[in-house]
Structure 1
Amino acid sequence: MPTTSSPTQQVKLPSQVRRVRGQAGDIYELIFLDQQDRIIVPLTEWYRLRKEQGPTSTRSTYLACLQSYFAFLSESECPWNASPERLRQALIAFHRDSLKCHVRPQRETESVEIVMTRETPLRESSLKVMRAALRDFYLVMREAGLYAFANPLSSGVLVALKRDQERTLANKGAPDQAGIREETHEQSRRRPTAFLRQHQPQGWKPEIRKELADVRQGIHAVLDVLLESPEVSLREKAVLQLLQSTGARLHEIAFMTIGGYQNKGVAGQAQVMNKGSYGREVKTIYFAHNPRVQEALNAYLEQMRPLHDPEGRRRLIDVAPNASLFLTERGTSYSPNVFYWHWYRHSIPLQALCPVRFSPHDLRHLFVTEYLMKLKLACGAGTQSFDAEKYLREREAFGKTIMAWRSIHTIDIYDQSREGEAIFSVLAGYQQDLAQRCSAVQSPQVRSASTPCGGAEAACLPNQDAPVVWMHDEETLNWIKSMDQQTGQPW
C-alpha cells in the first residue's frame, strides 16, 4: 500500500507564485506575489476571507490548488474576474495544458467532462480537490461582493434545469419521512450543476481484501499493541481509542475543541466538525459504552495536556471553548499531519501482525463493517426469524445518526462489500484446502530421494505398478471409484 501523503502534498504543482508573511497585527497573514513581485490581490484577499470558514487544513489545501491556477492565469493574461464565458475557456485550457487532461464538451448541458491521462500530475481524488478549490474561490469572492458575475464553475443550463425540476416536483415541500415527496431532498440536492465534471467509470467501494476476517483481526492486533505500548504517547492513544470506537474521520478527532469535548455537560459524547460543515461542530460522536476511551482521554487531559498548555492550565474550565483539545509539544493546535508522523513511526514495525498495510482511515471502514455484522446478528441473520425490514431500517438510522452521511445510500456500498467478503472467505477456505492437499501428497522427487532402492532396480522403475494414494474429499473419491468400475482399471 502506498504511503499516505497529506492533501497538500497531493495537489502541489509547480507554481510561480511567491508568498510573504505579513507583520504582526496585519490583517493579512500571507501576501502572494507574482513573477514581477506584484501583489496578487484576489488570492491574498481570498486567503484572508477563508480563515473563518472552515479548518485551516482545508484552506491550505485549496491554496496549493489556487496558486497553480493563478500562475496559469498570469501566463495566459486572463483576468481572474473576467466574465464566466471567458473564464470557462481559461478553465478548459488550464485542465488541458497544465493538468494534461482530456476535455470533452457536453454541449447539451453547457458543461465539460474532464478525463485524466497518464500525464496528469494529480491523483483522481486530488483532481476533485482542485475543482472544489476553484469553485470555493469564486463562491467566497462572490459572497464578499468582489466578483460581479455568477460562479463560472456552475453551468447556467444545469442550474436552470435543476431549478425547474425542483419547482415541478410533486409534494416538494414535504419532509422525506412523509414518504409523499416525488424524490428525497438528498436526490434533489445532488442534481448536477457543475461546469467541470470529472469522468467516473465507477463509484468508490471499500477494498474487499480489508473486509476479510484475517485482516480485521490483524488490524485489531496492531491497535492492541499500540494502545499498550509505553512508547506511544497518551495523546496518540486517546486519538486511536476515539478512531476505533466512534468511526470518526481523523480530522474530526484531531480538530476537536474544548467546547466540543465538553458537549454542554453531556458525558460519553462530543461535538466535532463534520466533512463539509465549514468549521461548525454539527456532528455528534458517541463513546459512552467503552470506558477505555474515557480513561485514555482522562489520562491525556490530566497528565499530558497541562505540560503543553501555553499557560499551564490544568482545568478545562479555565480554557476557552474554541481552544484545541489536543496540543502539540510546542503548545500549538494538533493536526492530522502530526498524528500521521507518530502513526508511521510506531505502526510500521508492527506490519507483520496484519496481512496488509492499513491507514488510520481504514479504522473507519472497519468500524462500519463490524457494526453491520453485529446488527445482522441482532436482527436474526442465519435463522428463520431474520427481520430484514428491521435490519434495513436500523442500518439507515446508523448511517444518518452515527456516521452523519448526507446520503442514505452510502451504507449500501458497505453491505455490497459484505457480500463480496463472503465470496472471498469461501475462496480463501478453498485455497487453504488446496495448500493442505499439496503438502500432504509427497512429490516424486522427494520420495525418490528419501526412499532408497536397496538394490532392487525394478522397484525404482516409473512404470511399475504401485498402490495409488488419493488425498481427496469423499465426493471426489466416489467419482474416482465409479470411473474405476467403468474402465476396469484405476485412474
Structure 2
Amino acid sequence: MSKYWYDYCPDGVESRFELLVFNRQNHPFLPLTEHYHDCVGRISKSSALSYVQCLLPFFTWLDQFSNFQGNRVNWDDSPDIIRIAIEDYLMTEMACKVKEKETFRFVNLTKKSPNTVNRFLSALKSFYKSLIHLKQYNYSNPLIDSYAILNDYKSNTEGVRKDKPRMPSEAGTEDATPHRRLTDSYFKLINEEWQPEIIGDTHLPYQVYQAGKKVNWSLREVVIARMLFETGARASEVIELTIGDYRSRKSFQEASTFNKGSHGKRVKFLRFSKDTVKLLMRYINSERKRFADLQQTFDTLPDEAPIFLTELGTPFSYESWYYHWNKAMKECEIKLNPHKTRHWFVTSSLREIYNTSNTEAEIKQKKNELIKYIKWKDEKTIEVYEHYFDEESHRKAHDGMFESMAEKEKEYMEHKKNKHKKKTNLTVIENSFDDIDDDIQELLDGLE
C-alpha cells in the first residue's frame, strides 16, 4: 500500500531542506516538510522527526479513507471539517472513544489504543501552529479550543460583584486566582496520566551489551549504550556530545550536555564509569580517527568537533544510531525503547540510595542530589519511583512475617506434642506511658 514517507537530502545535493516528505504518489509534500524545518530550532531534531513520523499515517489515511459529505478531507480545510476527520481517525484507527462536550471533545483511551495518541495530538497541534506561522493555513488552529481560552480569561477577570472586574489580590476581598496551566486543546485526554516506567532488572544493561555484540556493534555503539545506562541521559544528549563538552568538566568521567527544552544550551552534566572513559578515548583515538577528514586525536581536535561520527565522517545522528540499536534489540528479541534506559538508571540509583543510606536525612539529601542531576522539571516525579520501593520494602517485611509465622507454627506443633507442658496463658502488658499518640491509641482501641 502506498503511503506518505520521508527521506534525507542525499550528500552532494544542494537543497534548503535537509529532510523531505513525500505523498502517496511519491511527490514532495511541502506542508509536512515545512513543519519539520519550522520545528527544528524550537525543539530537538529527534523530537521534530518524532512528530513527522507520528503524522505520516494520519496523512496517508486522510488521502484514502477520510470523508466529509462524500468528499476526501484536505489538510487545509476549515477547522470544523479537520476536527471531524481527526475524530474519525481517533475512533477508527486509534481505537479511542470520543465524547462530545459543548466546545471540545473528551478522548478516552481503550485497551486497544496505542500509546502514541497524546503524541499524535501534540504533533498535529504543532503542525497547524507551524503552517499558521508560515501563512499557509488561513484559519485558526483546529486543535485549539478557543472557547476554553475565552472562558478562562473571563473567569480570571470578572469579580464577584456583578459586571465589575476582579479586585487586586492585595485587597484580600476575593479568592485568589488559581495558578494552573491552561488546557486549550480541543481534544482532551481524560484517562491518560503519564507515569514513569519502573525497570528493576539489574541485568538489563548486560543483556543489551550482549545483544550489541551479537550484531557486531562498533565501539561507537558500545560507548553510547554504556553512557545511556550509566548517566540516565536521553539518547540525543549523548549522541550529540562534542569534544568541548568533554573538556569542559574538571573530571575526566564527566561531560557537559544540553537538556530537553534548553535549546542546545549546556545546562547539566553526565557522569560515567572509568571503564567507559577508557572505551571512549579508544574510540576517539582509533575508530573515530579513521573516519574523520583530518586524522586528529583527542588532544588536537577542536572543541566544536562532534565526538561521534558516521562512517562518512559526518556528525552521528539519532536516526543513524537508532538503526543499530533497533537491529540488536530485534536480533535478541528484546523489547526496549531507548528511553527506558533513563528509567532503569533512576530505579537503580534509588535502589542504591536506599541500600547505602543509614538515616532518613541521608536518603532525602541523596534523593535531592539525584533530582538535580537528572534535571526533572517536576520534583514530584520521583514519588512514583519511591512508591515502587515502598512496595518492595513491604514485600520484604511481609515475607519476613511469613517466615516468622512458619517458625511459630513449628513451635506450636512441638508444644502440642508435649502433653506435660503447662497451658500457655496470654500475657497482657500494661502500658507504662501516661501519654499515647492519638493514632497509636486508635489502633490499640481497634484491637479490643
**Same topology, TM > 0.5:** yes
Q: Structure 2 vs 1, CA of residues 100 and 223 (structure 1 numbering), >3 Å: closer, same or farther?
A: closer
Instruction: Tell whether 2:146 aligns with 1:156.
Output: yes
Q: Structure 2 vs 1, CA of residues 318 and 475 (structure 1 numbering), >3 Å: closer, same or farther?
A: closer
Instruction: Tell whether 2:106 aligns with 1:92.
Output: no
Instruction: Tell whether 2:412 aligns with 1:419.
Output: no
Corresponding residue for residue 128 of structure 2: 138
- The 5-angstrom pairing of residues 424-435 of structure 1 reads 424-426=395-397
Shift of 1:422: 1.8
- Report the TM-score when normalising by structure 1: 0.65
Question: Aligned partners of 1:91, 1:111: CA distance in 2, in Å?
Answer: 13
Shift of 1:63: 2.0
Identify which of 346, 349, 352 aligns with 1:368.
Answer: 346
Alignment RMSD, CA only?
A: 4.4
**Higher-helix-fraction structure:** 1
Question: Aligned partners of 2:414, 2:294: CA distance in 1, in Å?
Answer: 85
Corresponding residue for residue 236 of structure 1: 221
Shift of 1:49: 3.1
Contact 2:209 2:225 in 1 (8 A): no
Identify which of 285, 288, 292 aligns with 1:309.
Answer: 292
| 3-state SS of paired residue (1:402) | helix
Question: Aligned partners of 2:213, 2:21: CA distance in 1, in Å?
Answer: 47
Instruction: Tell whether 2:417 aligns with 1:476.
Output: no
Q: Structure 2 vs 1, CA of residues 241 and 41 (structure 1 numbering), >3 Å: closer, same or farther?
A: closer
Contact 1:32 1:43 in 2 (8 A): yes
Contact 2:256 2:266 in 1 (8 A): yes
| 3-state SS of paired residue (1:408) | coil
- The 5-angstrom pairing of residues 189-268 of structure 1 reads 189=181, 191-200=182-191, 203-207=194-198, 210-211=199-200, 215-216=201-202, 218-219=203-204, 222=207, 233-263=218-248, 268=253
Question: Aligned partners of 2:152, 2:264: CA distance in 1, in Å?
Answer: 28
Deviates more, 1:74-83 or 1:235-244: 74-83
Contact 1:283 1:404 in 2 (8 A): no
Q: Structure 2 vs 1, CA of residues 149 and 258 (structure 1 numbering), >3 Å: closer, same or farther?
A: farther
Identify which of 2, 17, 23 aligns with 2:4.
Answer: 17
Instruction: Tell whether 2:269 aligns with 1:285.
Output: yes
Q: Structure 2 vs 1, CA of residues 345 and 285 (structure 1 numbering), >3 Å: closer, same or farther?
A: farther
Instruction: Tell whether 2:346 aligns with 1:344.
Output: no
| 3-state SS of paired residue (1:158) | helix
Query: Between the two proteins, what is the percent identity of the paired residues?
Result: 19
Contact 2:242 2:303 in 1 (8 A): no
Contact 2:249 2:255 in 1 (8 A): no
Q: Unaligned 5+ residue runs, structure 1?
A: 1-13, 173-180, 352-356, 435-471
| 3-state SS of paired residue (1:240) | helix
- Report the TM-score when normalising by structure 2: 0.71
Q: Unaligned 5+ residue runs, structure 2?
A: 158-165, 171-175, 422-448
Question: Aligned partners of 1:296, 1:48: CA distance in 2, in Å?
Answer: 35
Question: Aligned partners of 2:29, 2:187: CA distance in 1, in Å?
Answer: 25
Instruction: Give the AA of the match of 2:376.
Output: W
Shift of 1:307: 1.2
Q: Structure 2 vs 1, CA of residues 363 and 117 (structure 1 numbering), >3 Å: closer, same or farther?
A: closer
Identify which of 325, 339, 346 aligns with 2:307.
Answer: 325
